[in-house]
Chains A and B, each alone.
Chain A
């Protein structure tokens, strides 16, 4: 049950070396990392079941994210949104079901670290940054590079890496507080810092759990623009309650309800769906 036929451009490997340097997130390494996305699907979830002591958090969940797609996930509380992200990032093991990243990587058999290294980045519901470290150091740690013990013992930032961090600092507007400990940032700033950390981490699939909670309208608008610029080169999955925000970014929306997909389509289609109105949007 593929949701919708994918647009033409998504079938091409999303790799564009020429235009990369000016993009907010730099070169996407999809092809470089050898992730097999031949069929244009970056994430495949089929028949996922998760239960906690008899409570079924996810029931036969099926979901596909296309390469370069920006997908919004909405649904009432307890619909299983965060559990789904836990399954994708390896934090929770499904009782049954199939979860593939690209065509070949079986997420149910990979550890959290392996999944992160394979190219899935996650932003938590509650912003979590390394509070004792400065903003700059947060980004330095998140930056895409070898992350073994040995490498970090010898690590020295190259000029290129520094420039990249500076660039992201400007993008997330934290340039002025680069030396401040991250723990002293405001809630919204922490949200941006975490987004920034995702940017330097340069994953192919970004999972964003309520990214604009606690942001002002201007910030929300800015985030929407940022996400839109990220799509196509990267795949994004955004969980959000703010329907205005969803409307401004999403070309494709999935509604979760009681652990499975209730409806899928454009925002307008979903909003017109009787059952969605009944369980979620209200009249």
Chain B
């Protein structure tokens, strides 16, 4: 029941407050890359490490948002969004690695004594085609999987398990050396993007800004969808799919649309993640990563769009701190987080904040 209430609450309880908070966050996010361009000894200088870390978290925020669209609104808990993220990342990674390799084959292929590029990597030296792949690979996979899954009315935990198995299968496939995805190590050692030095401050700043833009764009799109009749149909579908069918709606189309959209958003996030972090490997597809994304959304608050962003930020912030300070205890903390959120915070942090403010 979060959607209409959340909207009314947001409308009544503090449109000004919400708008101000969003404005401040956005200003900071735009300022960060500009501060990175300052000379390194300046007091306001933002280090490459910080910028990369925040950029990475922003990519995760987009994933959380995409997951919220399918889970919070349509009630489909995907445990395989890491796959879509990684597919986008791999498409981008291939472009980057070929930029670095010049005219020759990527190093890992020469290492395998391959003489030719596998067919599915044709054309990846072109940035435009690589971008098409970033959208098409996760989009088509989601389309095919979703078509069959929704046709047979797989839902609830069954759907979650199937998506988890899907990402697991993907991980196994990408782990193999002979499949042409760089095996265990994945793609790394990028040097250039569109002819620019990938580690240059300017490039970093632009990539960061692109991530912010994508995040803002997805958020806008999410709000548009949530407030449209489409969003209401999704909510209805989540709560009473049968009733909706007897109203004459075909749930398959609705699910498929939001599912593919969500997968494509993840793919885009992955494509922006790779040049910033500098590596993509099959562990991004591990079921653990995807299920962690579910806890970002749960912690932030499902079906609220803003909440998952908060959740992704909080969990990943905590993770960066824990893995440095107490690496042994991070998994304990994460495990307890899963339990605490599901037991005591069914509406997430955003629910808490709203209860306080009203």
Contact = CB atoms under 8 A, between A and B. Distances in A.
Interface stretch (A48-56, A63-71, A96-104, A139-147): A139-147
Contacts of A148: 250, 253
Given A133-B4, A149-B230, A181-B4, A124 B249 contact: no
B236 to A, nearest CB: 4
A198 B8 CA distance: 27
Contacts of B247: 116, 141-142, 147, 197, 201
Nearest to A151: B229
Given A112-B246, A149-B253, A132 B233 contact: no
A132 B2 CA distance: 7
A8 to B, nearest CB: 32
B248 interface: yes
A249 B249 CA distance: 31
Nearest to A136: B4
Contact of B1 (A116, A128, A144, A181): A181
Nearest to A122: B246
Given A141-B229, A181-B4, A116 B246 contact: yes
Interface string B237-265: 01110111111111001100100000000
A134 to B, nearest CB: 5
A47 B8 CA distance: 53
Nearest to A112: B245
A99 B238 CA distance: 31
Nearest to A156: B229
Nearest to B256: A149
Contacts of A183: 1
A37 to B, nearest CB: 20
Interface residues of B, number: 29
Interface string B158-184: 000000000000000000000000000
A188 to B, nearest CB: 18
Interface in B193-247: 225, 228-230, 232-233, 235-236, 238-240, 242-247
Contacts of B233: 141, 152
B17 interface: no
A280 interface: no
A131 interface: yes
Nearest to A127: B243
A116 B229 contact: no
Interface string B55-86: 00000000000000000000000000000000
A117 B245 CA distance: 9
Given A89-B246, A116-B245, A147-B250, A133 B235 contact: yes
B4 A137 contact: yes
Given A137-B4, A152-B228, A181-B4, A132 B239 contact: yes
Interface in A99-132: 111-113, 116-117, 121-122, 124, 128-132
A224 B236 CA distance: 29
Contacts of B353: none
Contacts of B236: 130, 132-133, 141
A137 B3 CA distance: 12
A19 to B, nearest CB: 25
Nearest to A203: B248
B1 A131 contact: yes
Contacts of A3: none
Contacts of A132: 1-4, 235-236, 238-239
Contacts of B245: 112-113, 116
A130 B229 CA distance: 13
Nearest to A134: B4
Interface residues of A, number: 33
A149 B249 CA distance: 9
Contacts of A129: 240, 243
Contacts of A122: 246
A130 B240 contact: yes
A155 B230 CA distance: 8
A183 B4 CA distance: 12
A151 to B, nearest CB: 8
Nearest to B231: A152
Contact of B230 (A117, A124, A137, A153): A153
A35 to B, nearest CB: 15
A201 B248 contact: yes
B43 interface: no
B20 to A, nearest CB: 27
B249 A113 contact: yes
Contacts of B2: 132
B5 interface: yes
B232 A131 contact: no
Contacts of A124: 243
Contact of A131 (B239, B244, B253): B239
Contacts of A133: 3-4, 232, 235-236
A183 B235 CA distance: 13
17 contacts: A91-B242, A111-B250, A116-B248, A121-B246, A124-B243, A129-B240, A130-B235, A132-B236, A133-B235, A134-B4, A137-B232, A141-B236, A141-B244, A147-B247, A148-B250, A197-B247, A201-B247
Interface of B: 1-5, 8, 225, 228-230, 232-233, 235-236, 238-240, 242-250, 253-254, 257
Query: Top 8 closest A-B pairs, CB basis?
Result: A155-B229, A132-B1, A130-B236, A116-B248, A113-B250, A152-B229, A128-B243, A117-B248
Interface of A: 89, 91, 111-113, 116-117, 121-122, 124, 128-134, 137, 140-142, 144, 147-149, 152-153, 155, 179, 181, 183, 197, 201
Given A112-B245, A116-B245, A181-B5, 11 more contacts: A89-B246, A116-B246, A128-B242, A132-B1, A133-B232, A137-B232, A140-B229, A149-B257, A155-B228, A179-B8, A183-B1
